[in-house]
Chains A and B, each alone.
Chain A
Amino acid sequence: MLAIVGVAVAAAMLLDMVMLATGMRQSFRELLLTRGFQIRLAPKGTLPFDTDATIPDVASVTATLRQNPDIGEISPVLGGSIHIPIGDRDVSASVLGIDPSVQGDYELLSGRDLRAGDDVVVNDRLLAALGKRIGDTISVATGYDPQTRSYSAQRNFTITGTVRFLYGAADQSSAAMRRETLKQLNASSPTRAGDRASLFMIRVRQGGDVENARRWIESRIPIVSALSIATAIAQVDQRLAYFRQLAVILGTVSLFVGFLLVTTLVTVSVNERSGEISVMRAIGVSRTHIVEQVVLEGVVISLIGAAVGLAIGLVTARYLNSILSAFPGLPMAIDFFLFQPIAAWSALGLLTFSGIVAGIYPAYRAASLPIAETLRREAIA
C-alpha cells in the first residue's frame, strides 16, 4: 500500500511537471489565437505593451499593410492610462483605444459595445472600484502632470458595457474606448499626441502564408517588430525558460524515484518468492514466462500508482497554478499547468515504460535462479 502511494506521488509530480513543461506554451498560443490574429506589430525592438513606446503614423502604416493581399483585418490598438475622479478620490486604470469593428482585445460580458465617441466599456474590477453601473456617466482624464497636479484633458463618458480583457491581468482595472477618442484625449501630450498605436494586430487571410507576411511587413515597415505566434511563443519561452527547465529536472527526478521504487518492490518480491519461482522453473515453466510475470508485476504497480497519481496530480496542479497565476501583470487566461490529454498520456506512457524497465533486472534475476540450489536453500531454511 505504502509503495503504491510512493509511486502515486511520483506519478503526480511527473504529471504536474509534464503539464508545466507543455502547458504554458499551449495556453499562451491559445490566448494569442483567441481572436484569430496571427501577427502583432510592436515598436521596433520591443514586445507588445512591454514599454511605453508607440508606432507613429497609424494611417500610413495601415496603408502600407493594405498593399499586401494576404493581410485581412488590421486592428491598431493604443494603450494608455486614465484617471477617473470620483468624489475626493481618483481611480486609475489602464485604457485601450480600439476600433470596435475589428478589435480582438476583449469580449463583451454585459451591456453593449462601443458605438459613439463618448462610450466606454470597463472590466468588472474597474466597475467595482468606481461603484458605478452600466449607463452611468463618468469623467475620464488623461495626462496627469505632477508639476501642476492637473490633467491635460478631461471628458465625460457613458459606461455602455462590461467586458473581459483577454490579455488583462487579474488585478488590473481596465477600460476601452474608440482609438479616435483616446487620440483626442492625448492631443496635448508631448509624447503621445498624434496618430499613434501601441500595437497592431493582423489577421492573415485564409490560405495566406503567415511567415511570408511577417517577413514582408518587417522589410516594408522598418519601425516595427512583427511577431508571429511562433516568434511570440519563442520570446515567451525565453523569458519563462526557468519553469520549463525546472519541470524537466523535477519530472526526471520523479520518474527516477518511481523507477527506483518499482525496482526495489519487484526485487524484494522476487527475493521473497525465489522458492516459488524455482518450483515453477522445476515443473517446466519457461524462463520467458517468469520474465513476463515479473515485468508485468512492475507494470501493474506503475499503472495502479499512475491512476492514483493522476488524481493527486490534478489537485496539486490546480494549487500550483493558483500560486503562479498571481504573477504581476500575467494575463488571467494564461495557465502554467494546463491539463491536456496528451500530458496525462505522456506521464502514463513514461511510467509504464519505467515500470517495464524497472522489472527487467529482477526478472533477469528470477529467470536465472539456479533451480536446485534455490530449492535446497529453501528446504534447509
Chain B
Amino acid sequence: MLLPLLVASLLLQDSTRPAPNARVTASEPRTIALDEVLAEKAGLHIGDRVVVASRPNEPGDTVIVAAIVRRSTDPSEVAREDLRVRMHLDQLQTLANYGDRVDRFAIATKAGADIPKLIGRINDVAFGFRAYRSTDIAIETSRTFQVVSRFHRAIGIITIVASSVFLLCIMVLKVEERRRDIAALRLMGISRSTVVRAIIVEAALIAVLGSGLGIFLGWLVSLFVNWHYQALYRTPLAFSIVTPPIIAVAVLLSLVLGIAAGIGASLRLVRQPPLALFGR
C-alpha cells in the first residue's frame, strides 16, 4: 500500500466571514478532518463550512468539516501544540502551490516481505529520493527522547543515592534507639550473634514493610502523574509506569540497605559493654 503525504501550513477561516476572493466551487465543497484540539479551540463542529488558505489575505477553498479525529499517540508531539487538518492531497497541493509533489511516501509491505531487499531495489532505481526503514527514521528522530531518557536515568541515580543515604540514616538511628534493649538482652546472657541476627531480621522486616508502603505510594503518585500530564497534553500516553523490575529494584535496594544498616549498627552496639550502652 502506498500512502503519499504532503505537509503544509494552512489558515482556517469561518466561512460566514469568507476571505476576499475565496474560491467557491460550483460542485459541493470537499471535506476535511480536524484534530479534536483544533475543533475545540476553533469552536468547529462536523458540518461546519470553513475557508482554508495557505497564506493570509489569499483566496482559499471553502471546505466542510467532515470528521473530528484524535491524533495517534506520538511522544514527539506531546509538548507541541500543533493544530492539524487532514485534507485531500490534490487539494492541498493546489492550495500550497506545490505541484504534483509530496513530502514522503509511506509504504506498507505485505506479510513476509524482505524489507532490506525491497529498500535496496527502490534505492537502485530511485531518482531523486531515498527509501528508509521506518525503524531507522524512528531512531534518527528519537534523539530528543534519548536525551530525556539519559536525563531521567541520571536523576534516577541521584534519587537512588539520596534515598539510600536517607534509608541508611533512618535504619542506623532506629537501631541506635534500641541500645538499652540490646544492653538488657546482653545482660540476660543472650549471645552477641543472636542479638545481631535479631536486629538484622527486624531491619529486614522494616525494610520490606517500608518498601511495600513505598511501592503503594509510588503507584498512587504514578496515577497522579499520568492523570495530570495526560490532561495537560491531551494525550493517552503513559508518563509514569510502575513495572515489576522497578518494584524488584526498590524492594531489593531497601532490603540490602536495611540489612546493611542493621549489621553495621548492631555490630557497633554489641561490641560495647552492656553497661556502657546503659550510659554507665
Contacts and interface: CB of A to CB of B under 8 A. Distances in A.
The answer to whether A and B come from one shared complex is: yes
Most chain A CB within a 10 A radius of its CB, from B80, B173, B278: B173
Contacts of A246: 155
B22 to A, nearest CB: 16
A323 B151 contact: yes
A58 interface: no
A3 B128 contact: no
A61 interface: no
B79 A147 contact: no
A83 to B, nearest CB: 15
Interface in B51-65: 55-57
Contacts of A323: 147, 150-151, 154
B17 to A, nearest CB: 14
Contact residues of B: prevailing secondary structure: helix
Contact of A6 (B57, B80, B129, B169): B169
B161 interface: yes
Given A238-B81, A328-B143, A264 B56 contact: no
Contacts of A222: 56-57
A2 B168 contact: yes
A327 interface: yes
Contact of A5 (B57, B97, B159, B165): B165
B162 A264 contact: no
A261 B172 CA distance: 12
A104 B279 CA distance: 73
Contacts, number: 95
A254 B79 CA distance: 26
B147 A326 contact: yes
Interface string B43-84: 000000000000111000000000000000000000111000
Given A268-B177, A323-B147, A223 B55 contact: yes
Interface string B9-53: 101000000000000000000000000000000000000000000
Given A239-B79, A240-B79, A268-B177, A223 B170 contact: no
Contacts of B173: 3, 264-265, 268
Contacts of B56: 44, 222-223
A61 to B, nearest CB: 13
Contacts of A149: 128
A66 B60 CA distance: 31
A239 B150 contact: no
Interface size class of A (residues with CB under 8 A): 35 or more
Interface in A1-42: 2-3, 5-6, 9-10, 12-13, 16
Interface in A205-232: 222-223
B172 A2 contact: yes
A126 to B, nearest CB: 21
A240 B148 CA distance: 12
Nearest to A267: B173
A325 to B, nearest CB: 9
B55 A327 contact: no
B216 interface: no
A320 B153 CA distance: 10
Contacts of B229: 242
Interface string A250-289: 1000100100110011001001000000000000000000
A69 interface: no
A324 B151 contact: yes
B278 A381 contact: yes
Interface in B150-201: 150-151, 154-155, 158-159, 161-163, 165-166, 168-170, 172-173, 176-177, 180
Contact of A239 (B80, B170, B172): B80
A239 B148 CA distance: 14
B232 interface: yes
B162 A324 contact: no
Interface of B: 9, 11, 55-57, 79-81, 97, 127-129, 143-144, 147, 150-151, 154-155, 158-159, 161-163, 165-166, 168-170, 172-173, 176-177, 180, 229, 232, 278-279
Interface of A: 2-3, 5-6, 9-10, 12-13, 16, 44-46, 51, 53, 145-149, 190, 222-223, 238-242, 246, 250, 254, 257, 260-261, 264-265, 268, 271, 316, 319-320, 323-324, 326-328, 381
16 contacts: A2-B168, A3-B169, A9-B158, A9-B165, A10-B166, A44-B56, A148-B128, A223-B57, A238-B79, A238-B81, A257-B162, A261-B169, A268-B177, A319-B154, A327-B144, A381-B278
In the A-B complex, the 6 residue pairs with the closest CB atoms? A146-B128, A9-B162, A6-B165, A147-B128, A6-B169, A328-B143
Given A13-B158, A13-B162, A250-B159, 15 more contacts: A9-B161, A9-B166, A44-B11, A145-B128, A146-B128, A223-B55, A239-B79, A250-B155, A254-B162, A320-B151, A320-B154, A323-B150, A323-B151, A328-B144, A381-B180
